[in-house]
Structure 1
Amino acid sequence: MKPLFVLIGVFIISLFVTRYATGTYNFALSGSIAMAAMLVFTTIGHFAFPKGMALMVPNFVPFKTGMVYLTGLLELAFAIGLLLKDWRIDTAWALLVFLAIMLPANIKTALQHIDYQKGTFDGPGPKYLWFRIPLQLFFMAWVYFFCIAL
């Protein structure tokens, strides 16, 4: 839920800043800035909660903690790429693939009641999927609309 608030909040602020700075609203830039900010926010979780996030990684994936750090660095790279006009579209396509690949980790988290912040198995459980899957699809639609289509 917090990443959604970051995304929407930064988008609204960016819209007004770009309007003030350029005289017009720049939806593509504001959407890209907002997604970049959200990715930086989620990157922090990879480094603040590596133990719990390693529980989210599917069992067949080796070096789970290393993968948590690697995906955190990838999210940071995506954030930077979305802010570079010449890289925005390619970065957005790669981010769409990344978000699709990450969905099974979110499903595993719900099914196994993982609380990634505490590194325990007392999280919200499968009911979380009713929010998380549509949220992931919303993030993907956001990337496509603001970073590719506009």
Structure 2
Amino acid sequence: MTTPLLMLLILTLPLLANRLVGRTAAPAATEAAAAWGLGLVFLFTASGHFVQAEAMTQMLPPWVPLRLALVHATGVLEIAIALGLFTRRWRTAAAFAAATVLIAFFPANVYAALQHAPMGGHAWGPVYLLVRAPLQLILLGWTWGFLLRGRTPKRMPSRA
């Protein structure tokens, strides 16, 4: 149960440090600190895709093909999102990707909890969702409130 608390600590530390060091609460500094926190969370969760890859395959239904490759690929995706969050140029796109991933990966957490998968808190069964669902909502709310509110995805320029 320490993992969700650790994730919340990682998420909030850059923002708290920004405020405690005496930097201004300017929107750009707040956004950057919030993005760093979210990026660090994504790096933290991505590490599980490589350190505990075999256990993570059990979070997916058996009918999903190439489960280990999918676990590794989603770990790489989370690293890419984190790197995007660390740069001002890619921050908005990475934040949209982060929100999409948080929503898209949630069914795997539900499946894992229902199957009592031996990964993280999922072995607790459905009761773990009482922790996981609010954590997902916090991460989504953080992403929306600090990084996406009032923004729309940028379109790629057309090649006319």
Aligned counterpart for 2:115 among listed residues 112, 116, 122: 112
Kindly report structure 1 stretches of 4+ aligned residues shifted beyond 6 Å.
Answer: none
Give the deviation of 1:10 after TM superposition.
5.2
* Matching of residues 65-144 of structure 1 within 5 Å: 65-116=68-119, 123-144=123-144
Long gaps (5+) in structure 1: none
Structure possessing the higher radius of gyration over alpha carbons:
2
User: What CA distance in whole angstroms lies between the structure 1 residues aligned with 2:109 and 2:38?
Assistant: 19
User: What CA distance in whole angstroms lies between the structure 2 residues aligned with 1:146 and 1:58?
Assistant: 34
* Matching of residues 35-46 of structure 1 within 5 Å: 35-46=38-49
If the length of structure 1 is used for normalisation, what is the TM-score?
A: 0.85
If the length of structure 2 is used for normalisation, what is the TM-score?
A: 0.80
Task: Count how many residue pairs are aligned between Structure 1 and Structure 2.
Answer: 145
Contact 1:14–1:30 under 8 Å retained in 2: yes
SS in 2 for 1:56: coil
Contact 1:96–1:143 under 8 Å retained in 2: yes
Percent identity reads: 32
* Higher deviation after alignment, 71-80 or 56-65: 56-65
Long gaps (5+) in structure 2: 151-160
* Higher deviation after alignment, 78-87 or 25-34: 25-34
User: What CA distance in whole angstroms lies between the structure 1 residues aligned with 2:11 and 2:134?
Assistant: 20
User: What CA distance in whole angstroms lies between the structure 2 residues aligned with 1:100 and 1:77?
Assistant: 17
Superposition RMSD on alpha carbons, in Å? 2.2
* Matching of residues 19-58 of structure 1 within 5 Å: 20=21, 23-25=23-25, 26-58=29-61
